[in-house]
Chain A
Amino acid sequence: MPSLKELSKKKELLSGGQRLCAGCGASIIVRQILMAAEDPLVISCATGCLEVATTIYPFSAWRIPFIHCAFENSASTLSGAEAAYRSLKRQGKIDRTIKFIAFGGDGGTYDIGLQALSGVLERGHNLLYVCYDNGAYMNTGIQRSSATPQGAATTTSPVGKAIPEGKQRPRKDLTQIVVAHDSPYVAQANPAYYNDLIKKVQKALNTEGPTFINILSPCPRGWRYESSQSIQIAKLATLTGFWPLYEVENGKYRITYRPKKRRPFREWLESQGRFKHLLSEKNKGIVERLEREVEEKENKLLALAGETPSSA
């Protein structure tokens, strides 16, 4: 991977003046992805925070070709562009090498755009799909999605007397769903580990076929923490086992960063207001259950990667 010094000499492809919240993880992710790319890019983006805030007419923060169509079709819209590229290239009407990246939030990817994503993966389009996963419908005001972690309070999974734990169901493991499509390259990344993220993006862009990276996107507003803490909290997600960093290359699992000793899951919960209610005495059982589940998931992943489980 090129050093930051080298990367900093490249042209900045996302301008300032976009209107994401202060401390938003989405634009950190986008910037890191754009600095990773070596070829010209064409971008599509699902409706959501990233799209809305970067392209408020008549302003666009994108210094590269960009299309937004709707909420559920970032993947299928870009598949049309990629097919056009193949068609025009085959006909000798275009000779440049161009790479394609589709962005979607967790709502636009785990939920409403899952079918379009699945179609693109199955059809084998040569594109990279990036989900920036902030774990709720943040753009519309923090409603729960199928990516919302169990126990998180959102505006549609609020904490109340009858439901003291917030979101009652565990989150969907989208990365595994993509792996089940036998995509040549699937990974989970985290902008706090920019080195790892950039390497994964370069790998994905240099892989023939549909590739996918699920990237944790810290959200000060929705997760309820102070904006300067985005990177620390993102780091904590990986250190506590909530967001393991791994890749699956042609079916082969590899953990790309494994903390020497996993930090207590409780630290992750304590870092954000959306989990505050879980720390009360009466929710102790829920926290214990969540801790158990994180450990089980970790062990499952370690087994898939052929690594030895953590000593309990």
Chain B
Amino acid sequence: MGKIVGLTGDETAAEAMRQINPDVLAAYPITPQTEIVQNFSQFVANGVVSTEMIRVESEHSAMSACIGAAASGARAMTATSANGLALMWEICYIAASYRLPIVMPLVNRALSGPINIHCDHSDSMGARDSGWIQLYSENCQEIYDNLIQAIRIAEDKEVLLPVMVTLDGFIISHAMERVEILEDEKVTEFIGEYKNPYSLLDVDNPVTWGPLDLYDYYFEHKRQQIEAIEKAGEVIQRVGKEFKEISGRSYELMENYRLEGADLVIVAAGSTAGTVKAVVNQLREEGVKAGLLKIRAFRPFPVREVSQALKNAKAVAILDRSVSFGAEGGPIFLEIRSALFEEAKRVPVVNYIYGLGGRDIGIDEIKAVYKNLERIAQTKKIEKLVGYLGLRE
């Protein structure tokens, strides 16, 4: 087997990237992503990777360079956070529409303004319609596992889409945890070679990337993208199973944590899922039928799996670490409520917005959510559809 080490989230991401050994890495530093690029720069300086590293002058250029590299048949990666993602926004859409399997760790951080460097999911949630696959990580181990699987998912010929693997800024990115690292050769073998059938460098078979695509074909190209991200669901599951064979750890589109017979269910993504697990364990010991549904793949969103997991619950609370201003509830809430619409039995669902700008969320707050779910389960009444956790009035 591999080895067990103590690493921070950023160090873990960098370590996974060292093993992936991309042909090109283009990145720009931004807190709290910086340690990823710093560590990777050291790998380059030490000559332990064959990567051509481009220290770009902005995230916009980082994603642009990744597009140029991936279109040239290279495995290309970058990493960013918050405002960096916002700056590369335009190009993220282009990466997905050109069907380039770029993989990017995104260290979740609140979008300005006012400027804030701490965790929330406003950056990745804002990019949810960009055509990228999104995998959320609960802890360092999942960052590692998700990044390695992301290469396979992105480059699967039925998919060919970029993947962002998220990790909570500071909470995970700067917290040291126990991580199991596979042997280099195992990772190399698992991810295989990147082979794009079309490359700019194939000068004998010239192709044109990025034409002006008007009303006669644009829609058809979007339909292809829809097909690809739908297919990605199956591929994520298949790759998850294969990954188990080399790691012993299995992955699905989401994680059902003590959902058997659970009446009261919280849905969460990212590091908060870990905190919820602790509360679930405690409540189960007290005889409360509590459970957790952890979102791993937010794009594609596993509609059927989610409604299947929640349809027998008596009350469900969805925790959103971002806001969709003007909408009734956060992005995860909106997806789940919509997914449950097809169920014959109506499941009461409430939403909590929490943790914006890095506001801490603890055991007590999560316990309070389960308490409220208990009340809803008993009274069948929802007093407040969208609430806020840890906010001063």
Residues of A within 8 A of B (CB): 40-42, 44, 51-52, 55-60, 62-70, 72-73, 76-88, 90-91, 94, 96, 98, 115-116, 118-119, 122-123
Q: Would you call A116 and B60 a contact (CB within 8 A)?
A: yes
Q: Would you call A65 and B56 a contact (CB within 8 A)?
A: no
Interface centre among A80, A90, A91, A123 (most CB of B within 10 A): A80
What does the 1/0 interface line of B170-212 toward A look like (CB < 8 Å)? 0000000000000000000000000000011111001111111
What would 8 more interface pairs be, CB under 8 Å, given A80-B71, A122-B57?
Answer: A40-B203, A62-B206, A76-B60, A80-B24, A83-B65, A84-B69, A90-B52, A91-B23
- Show 21 A/B contacts (Cβ-Cβ < 8 Å), sorted by A: A42-B203, A52-B212, A57-B217, A59-B211, A67-B68, A67-B71, A68-B210, A69-B94, A76-B56, A77-B64, A79-B56, A81-B69, A83-B74, A84-B70, A85-B201, A87-B74, A88-B23, A91-B23, A94-B201, A96-B201, A123-B54
CA–CA, A57 and B214, complex, Å: 7
Q: Would you call A80 and B65 a contact (CB within 8 A)?
A: yes
B213 contacts partner chain A, Cβ-Cβ < 8 Å: yes
Known: A60-B211, A65-B202. A88 touches B73 (CB 8 A): yes
Q: Would you call A69 and B217 a contact (CB within 8 A)?
A: no
CA–CA, A55 and B65, complex, Å: 21
Q: Would you call B57 and A57 a contact (CB within 8 A)?
A: no
B90 contacts partner chain A, Cβ-Cβ < 8 Å: yes
- Cβ distance B64 to chain A, nearest Cβ, rounded Å: 4
Nearest-CB residue, chain A, relative to B198: A65
B61 contacts partner chain A, Cβ-Cβ < 8 Å: yes
B292 contacts partner chain A, Cβ-Cβ < 8 Å: no
B67 contacts partner chain A, Cβ-Cβ < 8 Å: yes
Interface centre among B50, B66, B68, B69 (most CB of A within 10 A): B68
CA–CA, A122 and B57, complex, Å: 9
CA–CA, A42 and B210, complex, Å: 14
What does the 1/0 interface line of B136-151 toward A look like (CB < 8 Å)? 0000000000000000
Nearest-CB residue, chain B, relative to A96: B203
CA–CA, A116 and B208, complex, Å: 22
Q: Would you call A84 and B72 a contact (CB within 8 A)?
A: yes
Q: Which of the residues B57, B64, B214, B216 comes within 8 Å of A80, measured between beta carbons?
A: B64
Q: Would you call B210 and A69 a contact (CB within 8 A)?
A: yes
Q: Which of the residues B24, B50, B90 comes within 8 Å of A83, measured between beta carbons?
A: B24
A-B contact count (CB 8 A): 170
Known: A69-B91, A91-B50. A81 touches B206 (CB 8 A): no
CA–CA, A81 and B55, complex, Å: 14
Nearest-CB residue, chain B, relative to A79: B65
Q: Which of the residues B24, B90, B209 comes within 8 Å of A84, measured between beta carbons?
A: B24
CA–CA, A58 and B220, complex, Å: 12
CA–CA, A82 and B74, complex, Å: 11
Residues from chain B with a CB closer than 8 A to the CB of A88 are 23, 72-74, 201
- Cβ distance B94 to chain A, nearest Cβ, rounded Å: 6
Q: How large is the interface on B (under 10, 10 to 19, 20 to 34, 35 or more residues)?
A: 35 or more
Residues from chain A with a CB closer than 8 A to the CB of B54 are 79-80, 83, 123
Q: Which of the residues A40, A42, A94, A116 comes within 8 Å of B64, measured between beta carbons?
A: A116
CA–CA, A93 and B384, complex, Å: 60
Nearest-CB residue, chain B, relative to A53: B212
Q: Would you call B90 and A70 a contact (CB within 8 A)?
A: yes
Residues from chain A with a CB closer than 8 A to the CB of B225 are none
B58 contacts partner chain A, Cβ-Cβ < 8 Å: yes
Q: Which of the residues A60, A64, A122 comes within 8 Å of B203, measured between beta carbons?
A: A64
Known: A42-B201, A85-B72. A55 touches B64 (CB 8 A): no
Q: Would you call B203 and A55 a contact (CB within 8 A)?
A: no
Known: A73-B60, A76-B61. A84 touches B211 (CB 8 A): no
Known: A57-B214, A65-B207, A66-B208. A76 touches B201 (CB 8 A): no
Q: Which of the residues A44, A56, A85 comes within 8 Å of B214, measured between beta carbons?
A: A56
Q: Which of the residues B76, B203, B207, B217 comes within 8 Å of A58, measured between beta carbons?
A: B217
CA–CA, A294 and B61, complex, Å: 36
Interface centre among B55, B56, B203, B207 (most CB of A within 10 A): B203
Q: Would you call A81 and B72 a contact (CB within 8 A)?
A: yes
Q: Would you call A77 and B68 a contact (CB within 8 A)?
A: yes
- Cβ distance A95 to chain B, nearest Cβ, rounded Å: 11
Nearest-CB residue, chain B, relative to A67: B209
Q: Which of the residues A55, A85, A123 comes within 8 Å of B211, measured between beta carbons?
A: A55
CA–CA, A122 and B61, complex, Å: 13
The 7 A-B residue pairs with the shortest CB-CB distance in the complex, in nearest-first order: A80-B68, A80-B65, A119-B57, A84-B74, A76-B61, A84-B72, A55-B211
Q: Would you call A51 and B212 a contact (CB within 8 A)?
A: yes
- Cβ distance B75 to chain A, nearest Cβ, rounded Å: 9
Q: Would you call A86 and B52 a contact (CB within 8 A)?
A: yes
Q: Which B residues between 1 and 41 are near A, CB-CB below 8 angstroms?
A: 23-24, 26
